[in-house]
Structure formats: C-alpha cells, structure tokens
C-alpha cells in the first residue's frame, strides 16, 4: 500500500476487534455467493401484507395515492406550460420555436426527454 | 455532497459507561453516529460504500463514505462505484450495511470484544419486518449489542423541535428525504402511522432531474455535469416557486426580472491566444529581408545571364573562326578537316552559327524577328515545294515533304496570329463603343453592364453546375463510368445513355445494316464521353464574362468580382469553425432552478403518479381516525417541515399556500421549518435515548429470539417518555 493511502486512512480495516464474526469469516474469499439479498419489491411481496387487517399501517398502504388534481402539462424542453403535443415524437412543447428544436432533435434525445417523465418507449 | 474531511477516530470511547446508548441516524444520504445526550453526532459520513481493487496488490479494499478522489489513482474502480444499502428508503443489502456499521463503530473508537452499548437506530416508516429483523440480527449477532430500539427519524425531529417550542404536541411532520417524503400526523406527541402518507420522491429525484435536464441541454458539457456538482447547484440555486405557473410565465416572457433570476455557471475556459497585428518595426524588418532576398535573386539571375552570354559569344567566335579556316581548306579535304571538330558539313556549321547567334540575341534581350524575315523569303526557304515530284531524287522528295510540313505549320501559326490580332481589334472597338455609350449616360450604362454581368455569370455557373452534376453525385462514377439507378443526369448524359441502351437492345433485331452508311459511325462520336458538352458557346460566354468583369472593375468602384469557384473547390476547402467563446462554456440555469424542486409538489412531472407534498398533508389529515373536536385545526397550526430537501428557499411558503387550498376557509395554518432540518432527527433521537426510561423501550437479543417475528412487526417505541 502506498504511504499516501495509509496516511489518508480511508480503508476499512480487515479485522475489527469489536466484531464477533469478521467479514472474512462471513463472506469467505473466492466463494461465489450469488445474490443473497432481496430487492424491495421482493421484500414487500414476501411480507404478505394482504393477510393483515387493512387499517394496520404497512409499507404499502401508507403510500400516497395519485393526485386529485388533473396533471398539468409542461413543455418537455423548457418547462413552460405546454398547450401542444408533437404527434411524431410525443413531446410536449410550448411554442413554435421549441417545436423547431424538437423536430431537429435526434431520436435518442427525444427518448431521453420522454424518459424523464417516464413516457419513453421501452422495448422488451 | 462534496468531499469535506474524513471523520477521525474518536479516542474517548472507553470513558462512556456500558449503559450509555449509541445513537445512529441511518439516513439515506448520511449516516450519523454519536453518544446519547450529546448535542451533535460524533461521526457523519455519506452512507455509501465503494469496494475498488488496489492496483498494486490486487486485493479488494473497502472504502466507506466520501474520500479524496485524488487517491483513487491507486485503485481500479472500473467494477465498483458507490453502492448504497438502501432500496428506496429500506435497507436491503446488509453486507453493505455491515461495512457502514463497521466503519461507524470503528470511528467511534470501539475496541472491546463487542459493542457493549444499547443502540437506538432510525428506520423508515413502516419498515418491512424482513429488513427490521435482519438489522436486529446483524447488530445482535455480529456486534454483540445488548439491547436495541428502532425509531422513525421524522418523529424524532418533531419531538426535538417540540422541545424547542417550535411546534406543539399536536401537529404534522413533513419530512422530505433523499428518496421518499413522508407526512406524519402527531397527536398528543405520538406519531399516528395509520394516517401517515409516503410519496416516493425526494432530493435524489430533484438532483437527478436537474442533472438529466442540464446534460440534455448541454450535451457537449456532459463530462462537467457530475452528480456532485449538480447537487451543489441544486442546493445553492434551487428554490421552490410560490406558484409554478406564474413563475414560469415570467421566464417565458423574458425581461429583467427573469434575467435577474437566471444563474450562470462558467466552466473553466482558456481564451485562445489572440494574434497581435505585427508592429511597424516588424513589418519594416520583414520588408527589408524580402528586399534583400529579391536583390540576391536578381543578382544571381544577372550573373547567370552574363555567363551564358559569354559562353555563347565564345561559341560563336569559335564557329566563325572555323568558317574562316574552312575557306582556306580545299573542298575534298573538308570531311577530314571537320572530323576533328565534330561537325559533318559546312551547312551544319552555318545552321549552328544561326542558332547560336539567335540564342545570343535572346539572352541579350533583343527581339527575335526571324519569323518576319522568314516570311519574306518563302521561295528561298522552301525551294523544293514548287518543283514537281518526278524531277526530284528520293532524298529531295523527303526534303520536299519536310518543307511542305514546315510551311503549313508556319502558315497556320500566321493565321492564328492574324485571328488574335483581329479579335484584339474587335475588342478594342467594342470597348470604344462602350466608352461612348458610357459617356452618353454613365448610370444607365453601368446598370446595363451589371445586368449583363449577372446574366452571363449565371449562365456560366449554370453550365458548370450541369457539367459537374452527374460526376459529383457519387464518387465512384468517375471510376466505373456507371450511373446508379435514380441518379440525376444532365441532358447530354441522358442522351448518351439512351443511345447506349438502344445500341445494346437493337442487336439481333432484323437485318444488321450498321456501317452501310457513313453517318452510322457518327453514333460513336455521340456516345463518347467527350461529347458531353458543347464547348464553343461556353467559351464565348466565358470570354465575354471576363471582358465585362474587367470593364466593371475599371469603372465601378463598388463592384466586387465574384471569385470564380471551380466545381471541386468547395470540397477541398476545409469548413471554417467559429472560434469558441466564453459563452460556449457557460451553463445557464433559469427555469431549472425551480422546475426541479417543483417535482416534490407535482411528482407527475417526472412520471410518478402520486400526490405532492401539499396534498399529502391533506391526505394524512383525512386518514386520521381520531375525530376529536378541533384536532384538524390544531394539526394544521403546527406543521413542521424537516429533512434535507426542505432547505429549498420558499418551501414553507409554498407548502402553506398549497395546504391552504386544501383546507376549509379560514382554517389556521402555520408551517414552520425545523431548527436544523438535517441534524434534528439525530438530536431528537440522542435526547430521547438519554432519558432514563429509554431502556424500557429497547429489546434484547433474548426478546428478539423468544417473541418472534410477529412481535417484531408490531414493535413500536413510545416517543413521549
């Protein structure tokens, strides 16, 4: 190890006295462990929230419902209010200048703009 | 967040008794750990782990939290970026969590065989029991923690601010976190989780949105737009508009106010070195050098010329001397005499004398007028031409043929000269006519000349384009001579193609009579490539154009002759780039300043179909089952915003306006910001853990194994002790 690295003291020590089980014992080196954790979605699925009374708060039912208000349309490029939608790219735009810019955009950028509001075409 | 400093290891760990709890605020962005009862956490670092490979030794090392990026040169980070233990706001990767806890306890100074202190650690609202039990298991099994308590950060923050008198015992805690936002009603000092509400949107999304927008707006500055930098920009310049629509209209309209609100980030830019115009001295010096060089060249040329003249004169003298000597030699002895000199006959010597004297005259700069001289004596020069063939010997016949050839060529030259002369005359006459016309009415004349020039130049251009058209449409055409389908041809090429096809398909049809007439062979001429254009008309036009142009240049001072651009010149000429200026390295942040934080109030803007912060408050109040008299008014009168993302300027005003729209007319509404939105959760937890009754809220390892998972699922601490 370079002295600079040691001086900076950024590395976590391999052995820590206050631990009953060291990291190297728990996850021995050179052993493929695969994925040993669940994503949040899987965790929630495994929780079986539907078996519990509905008035009991849980991670799923405290989630915010969709907004009561109709969603406002904003220009994807500028953020201005957008009265128009380009039928070719599906981008919302505020005025003719933005429209010109939209039409000049390469498809990759159009898709990235759409992805910003989760409206991109996802090919599976 | 930028790299600040690495937390140093605490040395007073052993001064604290085993009963003193350690308090951990395990937040999505920052991990804070410290002692109960203290005012500030001892250690704070970003809740991330990086596991790069050390380049020299090849072993995988663990780096927790932020660090000096300069040290990364020793590590191979290609396969490891920052990793977080959180999925949304729930801990799911406990291996990473273990590294984080390792580092936290190590920095706290733990050195015994286990961490022998009760632990209070924060978790998300309604944390799934799987995550909670894994965390308990980790703390009990690996660190040997005696007892443990889980609490919610927003509630601790509210309790802390309640203690400061900022909010009352009934109220609403709105916590805007890294990936989620919560609104939790507090009734009689206890959070009511039945009525709480969570939107999956937070500061992370704001930064991400800003980063994406900026990198889409400035694709060429993508490398400069790093996560850390954007985070800084967000914190420094982001604000929440009181009314997004009117604010954005302000920017759409433009004007002074919008300009004042626009921020500009100047990227590092080094101006290109400006070329200074050379000073007079420099110019003079250069001119002197040039003059000197010219002088030298002239001198060299003069020396060369004089030496050549000398040489030629010597040769001439020698030849003349030889001639004189020859006069004294007898006719029969001539070949023997000449064999030594290299000449064969007397005539040869004479002709070389003529030649040498001619070149001598030329070298001396005298006009060579032998052509005129030759003309006068055609009969002398070509004596054999007028003698019939049958009177000549074969050698003489040969000579005659040579003379004939010479005569025709010289005549042709003469004719061409004559023609040129006539043309010159014609031009002179035309110029004279023009001059007269000009003197009559200068304006009209100039106008006419200009139109003529325009027409002619257009005509010439047109022809050039036509000529160039077919050959430039694709590169291989010149090589193969073929023409791709659908490619544009000019008229001549079309005609040629037609001829070729008819010639190809006519074969075998009927009797082949090709070649019986002489005109048939003309077809090949038409087919040939050189036939493409009729040059005569073009040449005339070009000559006329040149004349008109020169004339215009003489008379009209405003006239600028269009450069004669050949058909291939534009291709070879490199496109000129506009030099980059300071403005090209600026990132302008205008609407984005409030457009990005706006997603907290309108998650729809980034495609999250959930209610925003203001609506969440209304939903929480609606969900409250306690229908005590006036409880709703009491709650709305004490709304506390906390969490890192509530630091945006204008947050409380906007929340107040938004909640006012939801609540009945004249409801009391008071929105306050926590005293320190970032640290209050830890401080609240620390003061909570310092209370003597805290230990009754914890559970031990034994409890954990005896009572089972169902108990852990329902486990809640009481926040008011």
Q: CB neighbours (10 Å) of residue B81?
A: 10
Please report the ipTM that was assigned to this predicted complex.
0.94
Which pair of tokens denotes residue B445? 């004349």
Domain CATH for B116:
3.30.420.40
- Give residue B312's domain range: 284-368
Q: Are residues B682 and B600 in the same domain?
A: no
Instruction: Check CB contact under 8 Å for A56 and B144.
Output: no
Rounded Cα distance between B600 and B620, Å, is 16
Please give the C-alpha separations between residue A82 and each of A77, A99, B156, B209, B466, in angstroms, as whole numbers: 10, 11, 42, 19, 48
Q: Are residues B140 and B26 in the same domain?
A: yes
Alpha-carbon distance A47 to nearest alpha carbon in chain B (angstroms): 7
Query: Is the minimum CB–CB distance between A117 and chain B shorter than 8 Å?
Result: yes
Which pair of tokens denotes residue B711? 């108990």
- Is B180 among the domain residues? no
Using the 8-state DSSP alphabet, how is residue B601 labeled?
Answer: T
A interface mutation test: which of B4, B250, B607, B610 has the most A CBs within 10 A? B607
Residues near B392 by beta carbon (within 8 Å), at least 6 away in sequence: B384, B400
- Is B645 among the domain residues? yes
Q: Are residues B131 and B40 in the same domain?
A: yes
Q: What integer pLDDT is reported at residue B534 of this predicted model?
A: 53
A interface mutation test: which of B46, B55, B92 has the most A CBs within 10 A? B92
Using the 8-state DSSP alphabet, how is residue B558 labeled?
Answer: T
Last residue of a domain, one of B318, B352, B368: B368
Rounded Cα distance between B641 and A77, Å, is 31
Instruction: Check CB contact under 8 Å for A79 and B592.
Output: yes
Question: Could you report the per-residue pLDDT of B566-619, keeping only the tens digit for each?
Answer: 444 444 455 566 777 888 888 999 999 999 999 999 999 999 999 999 999 999
Which pair of tokens denotes residue B63? 């780096």
Alpha-carbon distance A8 to nearest alpha carbon in chain B (angstroms): 8
Rounded Cα distance between B590 and B600, Å, is 18
Which residues of chain B are under the pLDDT cut of 70? 1-4, 366-381, 466-490, 506-511, 529-537, 557-577
Instruction: Check CB contact under 8 Å for A117 and B6.
Output: no
Q: Are residues B106 and B158 in the same domain?
A: yes
Last residue of a domain, one of B306, B333, B368: B368
Contacts of B626 in chain A (CB under 8 A): none
Query: Is the minimum CB–CB distance between A69 and chain B shorter than 8 Å?
Result: yes
Please give the C-alpha separations between residue B341 and each of A41, B314, B348, B637, in angstroms, as whole numbers: 113, 15, 12, 131
Q: Are residues B88 and B154 in the same domain?
A: yes
Please give the C-alpha separations between residue B95 and each of A24, A80, B8, in angstroms, as whole numbers: 11, 45, 23
Rounded Cα distance between A9 and B66, Å, is 12
Q: What integer pLDDT is reported at residue B244 of this predicted model?
A: 94
Distance from chain centroid for Cα B231 = 24
Instruction: Check CB contact under 8 Å for A8 and B193.
Output: no
Rounded Cα distance between A85 and A104, Å, is 15
Q: What integer pLDDT is reported at residue B23 of this predicted model?
A: 96
A interface mutation test: which of B62, B69, B108, B598 has the most A CBs within 10 A? B62
Instruction: Check CB contact under 8 Å for A64 and B198.
Output: yes
Contacts of A38 in chain B (CB under 8 A): 92, 130
Instruction: Check CB contact under 8 Å for A63 and B74.
Output: no
What's phi and psi for B484, nearest 5 deg?
Answer: -65, 160
Query: Is the minimum CB–CB distance between A101 and chain B shorter than 8 Å?
Result: no
Instruction: Check CB contact under 8 Å for B98 and A39.
Output: no
Instruction: Identify the closest residue of chain B to A92 by CA–CA distance.
Output: B605
Domain ranges of chain A: 1-51, 67-123
- Is B53 among the domain residues? no
Strands B86-87 vs B63-64: parallel, antiparallel or unpaired: unpaired
Q: Is B508 left (phi over 0), alpha (psi -120 to 50) or beta?
A: left
Q: What integer pLDDT is reported at residue B489 of this predicted model?
A: 67
Alpha-carbon distance B567 to nearest alpha carbon in chain A (angstroms): 30
B interface mutation test: which of A19, A92, A114 has the most B CBs within 10 A? A19
Q: CB neighbours (10 Å) of residue B235?
A: 16
Q: Are residues B130 and B92 in the same domain?
A: yes
Rounded Cα distance between B406 and B409, Å, is 5
Strands A92-93 vs A84-85: parallel, antiparallel or unpaired: antiparallel
Contacts of B90 in chain A (CB under 8 A): 40, 43, 59
Residues near B612 by beta carbon (within 8 Å), at least 6 away in sequence: A67, B199, B600, B601, B602, B603, B658
Which pair of tokens denotes residue B248? 């954005």
Residue B686: closest CA among B5, B66, B37: B37
Please give the C-alpha separations between residue B347 and each of A16, A121, B339, in angstroms, as whole numbers: 118, 98, 14
Instruction: Check CB contact under 8 Å for A21 and B142.
Output: yes
Which pair of tokens denotes residue A77? 């490029």
A interface mutation test: which of B66, B86, B106 has the most A CBs within 10 A? B106
Q: Are residues B22 and B128 in the same domain?
A: yes
Instruction: Count contacts between A and B (CB, < 8 Å).
Output: 184
Answer for the pair B50, B30: CB distance below 8 angstroms, yes or no.
no
Q: Are residues B92 and B137 in the same domain?
A: yes
Instruction: Identify the closest residue of chain B to A44 by CA–CA distance.
Output: B128
Rounded Cα distance between B702 and B148, Å, is 11
Number of domains in chain B: 3
DSSP 3-state helix, strand, coil percentages of chain B (rounded to 5)?
A: 55, 10, 30
- Is B144 among the domain residues? yes
Alpha-carbon distance A51 to nearest alpha carbon in chain B (angstroms): 13
Query: Is pLDDT at A88 greater than 70 in this prediction?
Result: yes
Which pair of tokens denotes residue B677? 């939105």
Last residue of a domain, one of B322, B341, B368: B368
Domain CATH for B257:
3.90.640.10
Rounded Cα distance between B401 and B452, Å, is 51
Instruction: Check CB contact under 8 Å for A18 and B113.
Output: yes
Rounded Cα distance between B179 and B234, Å, is 15
Answer for the pair B607, B614: CB distance below 8 angstroms, yes or no.
no
Q: Are residues B233 and B298 in the same domain?
A: no
- Is B41 among the domain residues? yes
Q: Are residues B156 and B94 in the same domain?
A: yes
Query: Is pLDDT at A104 greater than 60 in this prediction?
Result: yes
Contacts of A58 in chain B (CB under 8 A): 126, 128
- Is B2 among the domain residues? no
Q: Are residues B22 and B160 in the same domain?
A: yes
Instruction: Check CB contact under 8 Å for A40 and B88.
Output: yes
Instruction: Identify the closest residue of chain A to B132 by CA–CA distance.
Output: A43
Instruction: Identify the closest residue of chain B to A12 by CA–CA distance.
Output: B62
Nearest to A117 among B127, B605, B615 (CB): B605
Q: What integer pLDDT is reported at residue B560 of this predicted model?
A: 64
Which pair of tokens denotes residue B126? 């309604």
Distance from chain centroid for Cα B212 = 17
Query: Is the minimum CB–CB distance between A70 and chain B shorter than 8 Å?
Result: no
Answer for the pair B641, B664: CB distance below 8 angstroms, yes or no.
no
Instruction: Identify the closest residue of chain A to B599 by CA–CA distance.
Output: A117
Q: Are residues B642 and B697 in the same domain?
A: no
Query: Is the minimum CB–CB distance between A23 and chain B shorter than 8 Å?
Result: yes
Please give the C-alpha separations between residue B357 and each of B225, B367, B438, B621, in angstroms, as whole numbers: 83, 12, 51, 122
Q: What integer pLDDT is reported at residue B475 of this predicted model?
A: 42
Taking a contact as any Cβ pair under 8 Å apart, which residues of chain A between 44 and 63 contact chain B?
44, 46-47, 55-59, 62-63
Answer for the pair B639, B655: CB distance below 8 angstroms, yes or no.
yes
């Amino acid at each position: 190890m370079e002295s600079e690295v040691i001086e900076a003291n950024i590395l976590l020590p391999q052995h820590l006295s206050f631990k009953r089980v060291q990291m190297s014992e728990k996850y021995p080196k050179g052993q493929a462990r695969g994925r040993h954790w669940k994503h949040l979605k899987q965790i929630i699925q495994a929780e079986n929230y539907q078996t519990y009374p509905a008035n009991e708060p849980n991670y799923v039912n405290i989630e915010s419902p969709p907004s009561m208000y109709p969603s406002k349309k904003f220009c994807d490029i500028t953020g201005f209010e957008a009265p128009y939608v380009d039928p070719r790219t599906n981008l919302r735009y505020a005025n003719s200048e933005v429209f010109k810019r939209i039409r000049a955009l390469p498809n990759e950028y159009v898709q990235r703009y759409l992805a910003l509001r989760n409206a991109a075409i996802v090919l599976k | 967040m930028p790299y600040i400093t690495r937390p140093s290891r605490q040395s007073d760990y052993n001064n604290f008794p085993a009963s003193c709890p350690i308090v951990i605020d395990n937040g999505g962005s920052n991990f804070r750990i410290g002692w109960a009862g203290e005012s500030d956490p001892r250690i704070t670092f970003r809740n991330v782990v990086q596991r790069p490979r050390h380049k020299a030794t090849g072993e995988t090392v663990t780096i927790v939290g932020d660090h000096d990026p300069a040290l990364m040169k020793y590590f191979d980070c290609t396969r490891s970026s920052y990793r977080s233990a959180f999925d949304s706001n729930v801990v799911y990767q406990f291996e990473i969590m273990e590294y984080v806890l390792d580092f936290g306890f190590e920095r706290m100074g733990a050195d015994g065989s286990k961490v022998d202190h009760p632990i209070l650690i924060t978790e998300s609202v309604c944390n799934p029991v799987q995550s909670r039990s894994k965390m308990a298991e980790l703390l009990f099994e690996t660190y040997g923690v005696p007892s443990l308590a889980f609490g919610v950060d927003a509630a601790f923050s509210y309790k802390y601010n309640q203690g400061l008198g900022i909010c009352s015992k009934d109220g609403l805690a709105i916590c805007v976190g890294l990936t989620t936002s919560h609104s939790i009603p507090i009734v009689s000092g206890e959070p009511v989780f039945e009525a709480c509400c969570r939107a999956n949107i937070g500061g992370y999304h704001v930064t991400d949105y800003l980063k994406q927008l900026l990198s889409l707006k400035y694709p060429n500055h993508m490398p400069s737009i790093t996560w850390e930098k954007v985070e800084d920009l967000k914190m420094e310049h982001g604000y929440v508009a009181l009314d997004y629509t009117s604010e954005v209209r302000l920017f759409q309209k433009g004007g002074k106010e919008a300009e004042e609100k626009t921020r500009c980030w100047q990227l590092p830019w080094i101006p290109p070195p400006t070329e200074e115009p050379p000073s007079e001295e420099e110019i003079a010096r250069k001119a002197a050098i040039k003059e000197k060089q010219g002088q030298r060249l002239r001198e060299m040329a003069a020396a060369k010329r004089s030496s050549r003249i000398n040489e030629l004169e010597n040769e001439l003298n020698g030849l003349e001397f030889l001639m004189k000597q020859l006069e004294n030699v007898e006719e029969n002895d001539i070949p023997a005499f000449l064999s030594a000199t290299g000449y064969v006959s007397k005539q040869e010597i004479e002709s070389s004398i003529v030649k040498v004297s001619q070149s001598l005259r030329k070298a001396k700069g005298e006009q060579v007028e032998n052509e005129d001289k030759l003309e006068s004596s055609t009969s002398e020069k070509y004596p054999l031409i007028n003698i019939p063939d049958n009177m000549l010997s074969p050698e003489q016949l040969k000579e005659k043929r040579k003379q004939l050839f010479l005569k025709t060529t010289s005549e042709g030259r003469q004719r061409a000269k004559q023609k040129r002369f006539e043309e010159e005359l014609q031009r002179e006459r035309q110029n004279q006519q023009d001059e007269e016309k000009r003197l009559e009415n200068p304006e009209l004349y100039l106008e006419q000349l200009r139109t003529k020039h325009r027409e002619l130049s257009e005509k010439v251009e047109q022809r050039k384009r036509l000529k160039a058209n077919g050959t430039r449409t694709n590169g291989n055409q010149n090589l193969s001579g073929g023409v791709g389908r659908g490619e544009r041809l000019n008229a001549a090429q079309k005609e040629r193609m037609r001829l070729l096809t008819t010639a190809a398909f006519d074969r075998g049809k009927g009797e082949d009579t090709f070649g019986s007439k002489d005109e048939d062979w003309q077809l090949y001429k038409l087919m040939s490539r050189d036939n493409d254009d009729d040059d005569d008309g073009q040449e005339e036009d070009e000559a006329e154009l040149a004349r008109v142009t020169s004339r215009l240049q003489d008379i009209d001072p405003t006239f600028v002759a269009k450069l004669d651009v050949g058909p291939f010149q534009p291709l070879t000429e490199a496109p000129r780039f506009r030099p980059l200026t300071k403005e090209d390295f600026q990132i302008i942040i205008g609407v984005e300043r409030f457009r990005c934080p706006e997603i907290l109030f309108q998650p729809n803007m980034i495609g999250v179909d959930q209610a925003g912060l203001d609506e969440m408050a209304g939903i929480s109040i609606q969900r409250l089952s306690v229908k005590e008299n006036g409880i709703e008014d009491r709650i709305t009168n004490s709304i506390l915003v906390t969490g890192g993302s509530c630091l945006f300027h204008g947050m409380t005003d906007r929340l107040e306006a938004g909640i006012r729209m939801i609540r009945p007319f004249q409801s009391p509404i008071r929105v306050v910001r926590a005293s320190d939105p970032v640290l209050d959760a830890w401080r609240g937890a620390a003061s909570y853990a310092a209370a003597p009754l805290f230990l009754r809220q914890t559970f031990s390892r034994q409890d954990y194994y005896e009572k089972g998972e169902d108990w852990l699922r329902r486990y809640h601490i009481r926040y008011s002790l």
